[in-house]
Structure formats: C-alpha cells, structure tokens
Amino acid sequence: MPLSDVQCRTAKPKDKAYKLTDERGLFLLIATAGGKWWRFNYRFDGKQKTLSMGTYPDTGLKEARERRDEARKLVAAGIDPSLNRKATKMAQEIEATNSFEIVAREWFAKQKHSWAANHADKIESRMERDLFPWLGKRPINEIKAPELLGVLRRIEERGAVDTAHRAQQNCGQIFRYAIATGRAEYNPVPDLKGALPPVKQTHYGAITDPKEIGELLRAIDGYRGSLITRCAMQLAPMVFVRPGELRAAEWSEFDLKAGEWNIPAERMKMREPHLVPLARQAITVLEEIRALTGSSKYVFPSPRSKLRPMSNNAVLAALRRMGYAREEMTGHGFRAMARTILDEELQFRPDYIEHQLAHAVRDPNGRAYNRTKHLSERKKMMQAWADYLDRLRSTAEIEK
C-alpha cells in the first residue's frame, strides 16, 4: 500500500531503525535519532542495490517518487543509477575546475612572477573588472567567439577600445593555456580578428624643442608644491627611466659614491636588471632629497605613508599645475625628450641611447647586451646630457 504524506510526517523514531514502504522499491527509513531518509531498492546485473533519494521533509513524498521513477527509467535503459550519479557528480566537479575564472587565475599565477608588479596588477584588475563578471563561471570549453565578443563589446562601448584589445589579447593567452592543459580544444580569439575597431595610435606628450625644454626645466625648478615631487621631476629628465621605475625607486638601489643606480629585474618592464649612470647633477638632487626621505625605503615616498611610493599621477598632476597639458608633456615624455636630443643634437650612438632606455638591444650575433655593456661610454653620455640640460636651463634663447 502506498505511503501518505501524513504517515511520513507523523512517523516517530523507535529503538531500532525501521522503514515505511511505498511502491516500486521506494521506502522511508526512520533512524533511531529521528532522521528520515528516502531510499530506493533496485536490481542491476542480478544484484540488489540501494540508492539514496534525499531526506524528509526537505524532499517530499511526491519529489521522492519522481526521483524513483527517473532511476527506474535508467535501469530500464541498462544504466546503473548509482554509477550514473557518481559520473554526473564527477562531471560537475570537473566543470567547476574548468571555469574561465579558475583557468584564468591559474594562468595568471604562473605568469605574474615574470612581469613587473604594476603590469601584473593591471592584468589582474582587467580580468576582475571586465571579464570575470560575465565569463568567470562559464566552462572555458563552452565559450565561443560570439559570447566573447559580446563581453569585449561592453568594454569598447564605454570608450576603452585599447583596454578591449588588451583584454582580447589576455583571453587568447588564457585559452592557449587551457588548451595546453587539456581544459579546452578551441581558442575563439583568432576568430575575432577585425571585430573590434582599431586602436587610435597616440603618443606620449613630449617636449623636444631645446628652447621649450629650457622653459620646462626652469618651471620645474620653480615648482612650489611638494619637495619630493619637485626632486622627482628634476631627476626624471636626467635619468629618463619609465615613470613607474622612478616613483618606486628605493634607496638600497643607489650607490652615490660610484654614481650608479642599479634597478633590479623585478621592477623592470623587460624583467632584466638595469644600470643607470648618475651624472653629478643627478647625485646633487638625490643628496638633497635624502635629507628628507633617507629613513624611508623609497626615495619618493607617498605623503600619506612612507611604506608606499608616491602616486602614479604625482608627476603628471604637477605638470598639469605648471600649465602643461597631457598632449604637451607627460612623465613618460622625458624618455622621448632624451632619445630625440641625444640623437639629433648631441649625436650619440643609437645603441648607447637604446641601451640606456632599457630597450631590447642585441649585438650582430643576436645576443642581448648585458647591463654593463658600453658602461664607460654611457657614463660620458649621461654626464654630457645633464650638462646640456644645465645649458638649456640657464639660457633663455637657444640658437639652433
């Protein structure tokens, strides 16, 4: 006789566990502690087996019967419900570990140690802001080109076309990693070629006219904001490193007696150590700021905490307060300034300049130059450059 819901609800525990039988192999097991468990008895390959169907009242009588009927259909089709449940659970677990976010974070963890910290932070932020909210939980092997394009379009529509292209590039790297590790068979990124509008090429604002450089240098010397920011701006044109390398400079990297700044590989974009010869004028600036920040880890610490370097925007904001628009001059523009003048005005060898810019410079045999290559010549170049800047600073008019 089939069970009723009243029987299930009012059944009380006894000294021993007992069961209330329904129909077609379904029964409710009443445990001595009071728990009520649905079970289904069936035969498969000549063996008696029992399958759990949930607990009462979370699983009601009607739902328990529906689960029993589904299990009976599997048995009739020659499928063991117990093995089918295990296989389904395993597939779900595999799918969970194959989500786009899981694979992306695994790829990121393996790559970030070869990147500069700020570059790694940008990639992680881009994934968390622009990719994971829409793709994170999706099985990576199910993501196709139209779905990925839809996510990239969201970035494009807010006007961040360059970010959309960078996100697309990162997705390509993630999918290639997924294929290599057996989590995907298809990389949809190549199918998106031409789907995003091209990035409008822009160049960092940079002053390269000698007369205007002189005006800029005098404006920096007269800057009335923070001494730390002023010293950073005074040093920037003399060393022409990347803005991130300058703002995070640490006192431990400097040997003022030797006139050298040794930047470790982990702080360089190309992940190679870089040596910057310091002209006399650069050492003077560093000695001035050392009285203020010498007890800090950083040469240019944040005004809010000596435990952090100055902001990314500190130099840029100071240039704006001095009246220089973004298209006129940026922190990165000091590199273009040095590259242009050292080549066109002071006529130093291009490989000396490129090496000092920490660009990838190779010898005729294809080997990368080490950090001390042409050091003597580069020291002369850096001193000549600082002397030239002094002349521009003190001369109102530069005769071409």
Q: Which of 335, 339, 355, 378 is catalytic?
A: 335
CATH 3.40.720.10 fits 5-96, yes or no: no
Rounded to whole angstroms, how far apart are CA atoms 207 and 25? 86
What pLDDT band is residue 366 in, cutting at 50, 70 and 90?
very low
In order of 197, 206, 251, the CA distances from 309 in angstroms are 36, 24, 12
Mean local confidence (pLDDT), 132-138 = 92
Confidence at residue 161, expressed as pLDDT on a 0 to 100 scale: 86
SS3 of 20, please? Answer: strand
- Residue in the structure block whose two tokens are 């990121």: 108
Confidence at residue 269, expressed as pLDDT on a 0 to 100 scale: 78
Confidence at residue 327, expressed as pLDDT on a 0 to 100 scale: 79
Confidence at residue 95, expressed as pLDDT on a 0 to 100 scale: 63
Q: Which amino acid is residue 253, in one-letter code?
A: E
Per the structure block, which two tokens stand in for 112?
A: 């970030």
CATH code, 210-394 = 1.10.443.10
Confidence at residue 253, expressed as pLDDT on a 0 to 100 scale: 96
Give the residue, 118 or 31, on which the prediction is more confident: 31
Give the whole-number percent of the chain exceeding pLDDT 70.
Answer: 92
Annotation says 269 is catalytic: yes
pLDDT at 148 over 70: yes
Per the structure block, which two tokens stand in for 97?
A: 């570990």
In order of 33, 82, 342, the CA distances from 380 in angstroms are 88, 79, 12
Confidence at residue 238, expressed as pLDDT on a 0 to 100 scale: 96
Mean local confidence (pLDDT), 25-41 = 92
pLDDT at 130 over 80: yes
Rounded to whole angstroms, how far apart are CA atoms 248 and 302? 10
Q: Which of 332, 339, 355, 378 is catalytic?
A: 332
Q: Which of 65, 230, 242, 339 is catalytic?
A: 242
Q: Using only C-alpha atoms, what is the Rg of the chain?
A: 34
Sheet holding 18-21, edge to edge: 18-21, 26-30, 36-44, 47-56
Confidence at residue 200, expressed as pLDDT on a 0 to 100 scale: 65
What pLDDT band is residue 247 in, cutting at 50, 70 and 90?
very high
Where in the chain are the domains? 5-96, 100-192, 210-394
The tens digit of pLDDT for each residue in 280-329 reads 999 999 999 999 999 999 999 998 888 899 998 899 889 888 888 877 88
Rounded to whole angstroms, how far apart are CA atoms 313 and 327? 15
pLDDT at 90 over 80: no
SS3 of 30, please? Answer: strand
Annotation says 274 is catalytic: no
Confidence at residue 397, expressed as pLDDT on a 0 to 100 scale: 42
Annotation says 165 is catalytic: no
Rounded to whole angstroms, how far apart are CA atoms 284 and 318? 21
Rounded to whole angstroms, how far apart are CA atoms 24 and 68? 8
Q: Which of 9, 218, 280, 359 is catalytic?
A: 359
Q: Which CATH architecture has domain 100-192?
A: Orthogonal Bundle (1.10)
- For the beta carbon of residue 171, count every other beta carbon within 10 angstroms: 23
Among 16-20, 161-165, 190-194, 322-326, name the one with the lowest average pLDDT: 322-326
Confidence at residue 40, expressed as pLDDT on a 0 to 100 scale: 93
Q: In the predicted model, what is the mean pLDDT of the chain?
A: 88
Confidence at residue 370, expressed as pLDDT on a 0 to 100 scale: 59
Confidence at residue 283, expressed as pLDDT on a 0 to 100 scale: 96
For 348, phi and psi rounded to 5 degrees? -85, 155
The tens digit of pLDDT for each residue in 191-228 reads 999 999 987 655 678 888 899 999 999 999 999 889 99
pLDDT at 331 over 90: no
The tens digit of pLDDT for each residue in 277-286 reads 999 999 999 9
pLDDT at 245 over 50: yes
36, containing H or E segment: strand 36-44
The answer to pTM > 0.85 is no
Q: Please state whether beta strands 18-21 and 260-263 pair in parallel, antiparallel, or not at all (unpaired).
A: unpaired
51, containing H or E segment: strand 47-56
Q: Which of 122, 369, 373, 393 is catalytic?
A: 369
Q: Which of 49, 119, 269, 371 is catalytic?
A: 269
Per the structure block, which two tokens stand in for 326?
A: 């973004």
pLDDT at 395 over 60: yes
Which spans in the chain are helix H?
5-10, 61-76, 81-97, 100-111, 117-126, 132-135, 145-157, 161-180, 210-221, 227-239, 243-247, 280-293, 314-321, 333-344, 350-356, 375-394
